[in-house]
Chain A
Amino acid sequence: MELQQASLGYRGNTVLENLDLKIAAGDFVVIGGPNGGGKSTLLKTISGLIPLLKGTRDVGGMKFGYVPQQAASDVPLPITAFEIVELGASALLPLHRTFFRMERAFYLECLRECQADAYAKKNFGELSGGQRQRVLLARSLAVRPNALLLDEPTAGVDHATQLVIARLLARLNREQRMTVALVTHEFEPFRGIASHFLRVADGRAQFLDIAAFTNGTANTPNVGS
């Protein structure tokens, strides 16, 4: 996935300018930085949710699975964890295949992969933050992606659950060569897992090592891959 000479933002309000960014297949990129620095804008631009103000975006054959912030996934009616995955997966499925039992088996497999099959029949609204996050991750896997984009997957969950989510993503990255890019404020769970740390602040994006990343000091020049 590549952004070239890209300007990112909303309706003429530029957040990041002249950005060159390349994420290769199999990378594990953690995106951090202060609030309002443009982390989520960058993730949403990569995913195609926000159009570029300037420059080019090449997804290079990547098919994205997206995990939005938990707050965006509240559903006002009763819905089970399994149905959350089922709804998500049906987005691109031909209509006749949505009735197939084997698809249902695949959705259960996605939940199992994320250690969420135990509460497949439970009401999504009654699950804890960590459980919900695993269900949303299972949903993103159900669209059969080769890259995962996650917007603050560890927000609002305890440290132990953050570690579980980090290990889960590490396993997907290692075993399935799944590309992962995520926005977070909690970096420690990803120490030793992420291949790149990208700090987004003051209109710039820089790849840093973990030490510089956590204290916010740049030690490498502007972005590359």
Chain B
Amino acid sequence: MWDLSFLQSKSYWAAGLMGLICPVIGRHMVMGRAIMLGLALPQVSLAGVAFMFFGAALGWGWCTAFKDDATRAFAGAMLLTLPALVLLALPRRSVKLSEGWLAFVFLAAVSLTNLMLSSNAVGEVYIEDLFHGRLLLISDTAIITLAISLGCAFVFAMAFRRRILLALTDPDFATVSGLKLTRWNVILALINGSVVGVSVATVGPLVTFGFLILPVLAVATFARSLRTHLIWAMVFGVITATAGFVISYHYDLPLGDSVVALGCAGLAIIHALRAIFCR
């Protein structure tokens, strides 16, 4: 039971990194009341991955130029994610419009992904692996890319956290006080987009969405301040990744599904405990 050999696994470090850093980005989505964005965006990234496999199957030169499937997936995820986020960032002041657009984007991305994969066996297998978060075959290149992009996003998100959170929580006050709202929305879109795009191409949309949202919601029930909330969310993410990995390792279950199911269980248990003890 206490076999710690999983610590040598690259896939564990990828999951741990996601658990540590995704909550920093996920709280942008919760603070901006845009959880739908966290749901839609990984799906857009996945549509980008599917698009690259679709193009490669049709022999398009710029899709076949990538030497392996992992690089092609990265390129595809970033191709759609960043422009989509920048476009979605612009009408943010109208919440209803944003939610409507997010629902539209989610539906369009899911249907196009399925259509592009309908006659593409290679792409279908790759996307299915991503969807279940099967990290076991993660390459060195993939984990280095993931670490660099998450690390950069973390540094930016922490350095500018006050401006970003102000723009998200009270855009009117921020504007009157002199904050350039459009600029910060675009910066936020670039930070979120790079994390989501690279994460989806590496670990899939389920794990990405799970780590973005579950830790943030789980610890919101007991944290007392933004600072403690962030620290606990990161701790929750790492614990979930570790425990999920151990369960997956011992019982031979898909890693991504195990981690996300455990995160959901953690969220439900924390809410239940709070309901019982804080009545």
Task: Give the residues from 116 to 153 in chain B that come closer than 8 angstroms, CB to CB, to chain A.
Answer: none
Task: Give the residues from 48 to 87 in chain A that come closer than 8 angstroms, CB to CB, to chain B.
Answer: 48-49, 64-66, 68, 72-73, 75-80, 83, 86-87
Q: Is the CB of A83 within 8 A of B226?
A: yes
* Residue B70 interfacial (CB < 8 Å): no
Q: Is the CB of A80 within 8 A of B179?
A: no
Q: Is the CB of A68 within 8 A of B220?
A: no
* Residue B183 interfacial (CB < 8 Å): no
Q: Is the CB of B224 within 8 A of A78?
A: yes
Contacts of B173 on A, CB cut-off 8 Å?
66, 68, 73, 88, 91, 139-140
A49–B93 Cα gap in the complex (Å)?
Answer: 12
Q: Is the CB of B227 within 8 A of A77?
A: no
Q: Is the CB of A87 within 8 A of B176?
A: no
Given contact pairs A76-B31, A77-B229, A78-B229, A68 touches B170 in the complex (Cβ within 8 A): yes
How close is A6's CB to chain B, nearest CB, in angstroms? 18
Contacts of A31 on B, CB cut-off 8 Å?
none
Residues of B within 8 A of A (CB): 27, 30-31, 33, 159-160, 162-163, 165-166, 169-170, 172-179, 216, 220, 223-229
Q: Is the CB of A87 within 8 A of B162?
A: yes
A143–B160 Cα gap in the complex (Å)?
Answer: 17
B226 in complex: contacting residue of A72, A80, A139, CB < 8 Å: A80
Given contacts A88-B177, A91-B173, A121-B225, 10 further A-B contacts (CB under 8 A): A44-B172, A48-B176, A49-B175, A66-B173, A68-B170, A76-B220, A80-B226, A90-B163, A90-B166, A91-B166
A77–B33 Cα gap in the complex (Å)?
Answer: 10
Q: Is the CB of A80 within 8 A of B176?
A: no
Contacts of A72 on B, CB cut-off 8 Å?
170, 172
Contacts of B174 on A, CB cut-off 8 Å?
91
* Residue A123 interfacial (CB < 8 Å): yes
A92–B27 Cα gap in the complex (Å)?
Answer: 22
Q: For residue B180, which residue of chain A has the nearest CB?
A: A91
| Closest A-B pairs by Cβ, 3 of them | A90-B162, A66-B176, A91-B177
A64–B173 Cα gap in the complex (Å)?
Answer: 10
A149 in complex: contacting residue of B160, B169, B176, CB < 8 Å: B176
Q: Is the CB of B179 within 8 A of A77?
A: no
Please report whether the interface of chain B is mostly helix, strand, loop or mixed according to DSSP: helix
Contacts of B226 on A, CB cut-off 8 Å?
77-80, 83
Q: For residue B225, which residue of chain A has the nearest CB?
A: A80
A75–B226 Cα gap in the complex (Å)?
Answer: 11
How close is A10's CB to chain B, nearest CB, in angstroms? 12
Given contact pairs A49-B175, A87-B162, A92-B178, A75 touches B169 in the complex (Cβ within 8 A): yes
Please report whether the interface of chain A is mostly helix, strand, loop or mixed according to DSSP: mixed
A76–B226 Cα gap in the complex (Å)?
Answer: 11
Q: Is the CB of B27 within 8 A of A49?
A: no
How close is B238's CB to chain A, nearest CB, in angstroms? 19
* Residue A118 interfacial (CB < 8 Å): no
* Residue A95 interfacial (CB < 8 Å): yes
The 17 listed contacts between A and B (C-beta, < 8 Å) are A49-B176, A64-B176, A73-B173, A76-B33, A76-B220, A77-B223, A78-B223, A78-B226, A79-B225, A80-B224, A87-B169, A88-B170, A90-B163, A91-B166, A91-B178, A92-B179, A95-B159
Contacts of B227 on A, CB cut-off 8 Å?
83
How close is A100's CB to chain B, nearest CB, in angstroms? 13
How close is B210's CB to chain A, nearest CB, in angstroms? 18
Task: Give the residues from 21 to 66 in chain A that come closer than 8 angstroms, CB to CB, to chain B.
Answer: 44, 47-49, 64-66
A5–B253 Cα gap in the complex (Å)?
Answer: 71
Contacts of B177 on A, CB cut-off 8 Å?
64-66, 88, 91-92, 143
Q: Is the CB of A91 within 8 A of B31?
A: no
Contacts of B33 on A, CB cut-off 8 Å?
76
A77 in complex: contacting residue of B30, B170, B175, B178, CB < 8 Å: B30
Q: Is the CB of B172 within 8 A of A88?
A: no
* Residue A98 interfacial (CB < 8 Å): yes
Contacts of A64 on B, CB cut-off 8 Å?
176-177
Q: Is the CB of B175 within 8 A of A48?
A: yes
Given contact pairs A64-B176, A66-B177, A91-B179, A77 touches B166 in the complex (Cβ within 8 A): no
A49 in complex: contacting residue of B30, B172, B223, B229, CB < 8 Å: B172
How close is B228's CB to chain A, nearest CB, in angstroms? 8
Contacts of B220 on A, CB cut-off 8 Å?
76-78
B27 in complex: contacting residue of A77, A88, A121, A143, CB < 8 Å: A77
